Structure 1
Amino acid sequence: MAATEQQHERALEKFLDERPELRHELDNLNPLLAQAKGETAAQYRDERLHEAFEAEAERQGLFAWELTLKLTVDTPEDYETQRMEVHKEVAEMAGLDWLEYCELYGLSK
């Protein structure tokens, strides 16, 4: 089962809690930058937060949903179990054989 929106919001909050410098930066963005993009300050801040989150996931070699799971589950075992469940769902939706999917994404079966 994929991460829920509520789970993702908790992950974003934890992500910011662990990075006070990023929180400070996001809380002090230039409102003119948001205006220039035709966005509210909150929309502009959210966009920057999601970019930072996705960049961190990529830095760790993860998809953003995997980082969401990693930040919100109780144990590493829970993370691996849920992560593999989602990958299996994705493989099934894509119509890929599980072994082929694992090879494609470098997963252990």
Structure 2
Amino acid sequence: MAATEQQHEQALQKFLDERPELRHELDNLNPLLAQAKGETAAQFRDERLHEAFEAEAERLGLFAWELTLQLTAATPEDYEAQRLNVHREVAEMAGMDWLDYCELYGLIP
């Protein structure tokens, strides 16, 4: 199953906890930038956090949901099992053969 909203929130918190420089940057955003976008300071901050999270996932060659699983899984084995389960769900939803899907995404089933 895909990562839950609760898992994603936990992953964002861990991501932020591991990056004090990002936390400092987010805590000191210019409130006028938020106002210019018609957002509250909290909405603007959350948007920047999500952008940083997605950029890190991309840098690692992962989907954001994979980074969420990686940051919240109890063990590397648990991460791999959850990751493959989600990929299997995606393949099924796309109507793709599992082995073809694995080849397309470089997965080892």
RMSD: 0.6
Structure 2 partner of 1:57: 57
Take 2:14 and 2:33, find their aligned partners in 1: how far apart are those partners? Answer: 26
Letter in 2 for 1:54: E
Take 1:73 and 1:103, find their aligned partners in 2: how far apart are those partners? Answer: 25
Structure 1 partner of 2:70: 70
Take 1:49 and 1:67, find their aligned partners in 2: how far apart are those partners? Answer: 14
Take 1:101 and 1:38, find their aligned partners in 2: how far apart are those partners? Answer: 41
Mark the runs of 5 or more structure 1 residues left unpaired by the alignment.
Answer: none
Take 1:52 and 1:60, find their aligned partners in 2: how far apart are those partners? Answer: 12
Structure 2 partner of 1:18: 18
Structure 2 partner of 1:104: 104
Structure 2 partner of 1:93: 93
Deviation at 1:103, TM superposition (A): 1.3
> Percent of aligned positions with the same letter in both sequences?
86
State the 4+ residue runs in structure 1 displaced beyond 2 angstroms: none
Structure 2 partner of 1:9: 9
Take 2:46 and 2:105, find their aligned partners in 1: how far apart are those partners? Answer: 29
Take 1:54 and 1:2, find their aligned partners in 2: how far apart are those partners? Answer: 16
Deviation at 1:13, TM superposition (A): 0.2
Q: What per-residue deviation string (whole Å, max 9, x for no partner) do you get for residues 15-53 of structure 1? A: 000000000000110000011111111111010000000
Report how many aligned residue pairs link the two structures.
109
Take 2:46 and 2:53, find their aligned partners in 1: how far apart are those partners? Answer: 10
Deviation at 1:104, TM superposition (A): 1.2
Q: TM-score, normalised by structure 1?
A: 0.98
Structure 2 partner of 1:40: 40
